[in-house]
Amino acid sequence: MIDSITILMLLSHSSGFQNPTWPWGNGEPWEPFEPTTWNQLVAMMPYEQLLFKPGSKYSYSNPGFIYLARIIEKLTGDPWQSYVQKNILSPLGLDRSYFGGTPYYLAADRSHNYYVRRDSVTRRDSVVDNGADFDPGITIPNGGWNAPLDDLATYLAFLTNAPGGRLPKERYDVILRRSTLEEMWRPVVNTNGNGYGSENDWMGLSFFGMQRDGVKILGHTGSQAGFRAFMYFDPVKHTAVLVAFNTTADRSTPGAREAQKAMTEAALGLLK
């Protein structure tokens, strides 16, 4: 069955790979620690289990995007980070965006990230400083973009075809044709409430889609260490909302899930 997986299935998280994906923690005797190199991921492939027939439904898969990055490397001869830098970040003028460790000239501006943890005995909360940089290893393609908020705003201007970015709109089609982006936004598989919205929301090609009061909203959320980001946009009105945090509460902290849901709905409400 694994031979039937296509690039479209990987992009739409419908390949059938297990979810959650990091770390492998289903109690199987063969499960190793979280892989940090490509060779480790290859060694795990014979043990990879498919949860359903590829293409039949949705299940989020971080390794799927590592496999997609590997395809880009094989086709272009460039490391994935170099390809994205040359063909997306640099053409958009995102000169403070990068992957991996922070460049020296940006180190003073790099935010630390934090965890809020509650002591099980005293019930008191404490804030743990995780520092600035961390090594995502082989997982960079599924969540390793470091950027200030104004770089994200410029990226959203590109996605919404909106004026006011750092570069003229004519540059947008050089990066990726509008027709290609619109193809990526079409529904491929229903998320059945397992994504970031309701049961009627869908997954396109790497973009989540939802309807709110008749408005089509597209985007994605993400997390690495204590960082959390939320980015959604209305492709018709050319409006967008962007939220980012450098502090994350432990899931056991009372009210954490409710607070996240309330924040999400409040942000989406700005696009109505």
What is the C-alpha separation between 186 and 203, in angstroms, rounded?
Answer: 8
Average pLDDT over residues 110-137: 88
Q: Is 4 strand, coil or helix?
A: helix
Residue 141 lies in a domain: yes
pLDDT of 140 strictly over 70:
yes
8 within some domain? yes
Structural domain count, the chain: 2
pLDDT of residue 198: 73
Among 217, 210, 168, which Cα is nearest to 191's?
Answer: 210
Percent pLDDT > 90 in the chain is 51
Is residue 269 helix, strand or coil? helix
Query: Do 115 and 217 sit in the same domain of this protein?
Result: yes
Does 251 score more than 70 pLDDT?
A: no
Residue 4 and residue 61 in one domain: yes
List residues bridging with 50 in a β-sheet.
17
Confidence of residue 23 (pLDDT cuts 50, 70, 90): low
Q: Indicate whether 65 and 129 sit together in one domain.
A: no
Please state, in angstroms and as integers, the Cα–Cα distance from residue 202 to each residue in 49, 62, 121, 220, following that order: 24, 18, 42, 12
Q: Which range marks the domain in which residue 37 is found?
A: 1-77
- Of the pLDDT bands very low, low, confident and very high (cuts 50, 70, 90), residue 142 is confident
Q: How far apart are CA 249 and CA 114, in angstroms?
A: 9
pLDDT of residue 22: 66
Would you say residue 89 lies in a domain? no
Residue 43 pLDDT more than 70?
A: yes
Q: Which residue has the higher pLDDT, 31 or 209?
A: 209
Does the pLDDT at position 40 exceed 90?
no
Pair (48, 123) in one structural domain = no
Report pLDDT for 240. 94
| 94 inside domain | no
Q: Are residues 257 and 125 in the same domain?
A: yes
Q: What is the pTM assigned to this prediction?
A: 0.89
Q: Could you tell me if 44 and 119 lie in one domain?
A: no
> Do 131 and 202 fall within a single domain?
yes
Structural Rg of the chain based on CA atoms: 19
Average model confidence (pLDDT) across the chain: 87
CA distance 270 to 75: 40
Instruction: Examine the domain organization and report whether 40 and 117 are in the same domain.
Output: no
What would the mean pLDDT of 2-30 be, rounded to a whole number?
83
pLDDT of residue 212: 84
Over 90: is that where the pLDDT of 106 sits? yes
Looking up tokens 């990987």 gives 10
Q: Answer yes or no: do 124 and 45 share one domain.
A: no
248: pLDDT strictly greater than 90: no
Per the domain annotation, does 92 fall within a domain? Answer: no
Which of 61, 77, 93 represents a domain boundary (last residue)? 77
- Give the H or E element holding residue 266: helix 256-269
- Tokens for 144, please give them: 């390793």
| Within-domain flag for 61 | yes
- Per-residue tokens: 104: 């020296």
Strands 114-118 and 125-129: antiparallel
Identify whether residues 150 and 224 lie together within a single domain.
yes
Would you state the pLDDT for residue 21? 67
Asked if residue 96 is part of any domain, the answer here is no
Reported as a single tens digit per residue, the pLDDT across 57-80 is: 999 988 899 999 999 999 999 999
Say yes or no to pLDDT of 41 above 70: yes
pLDDT above 80 for 170: no
189 with 133, same domain: the answer is: yes
d(CA 4, CA 90): 35
Residues 244 and 167 in one domain: yes
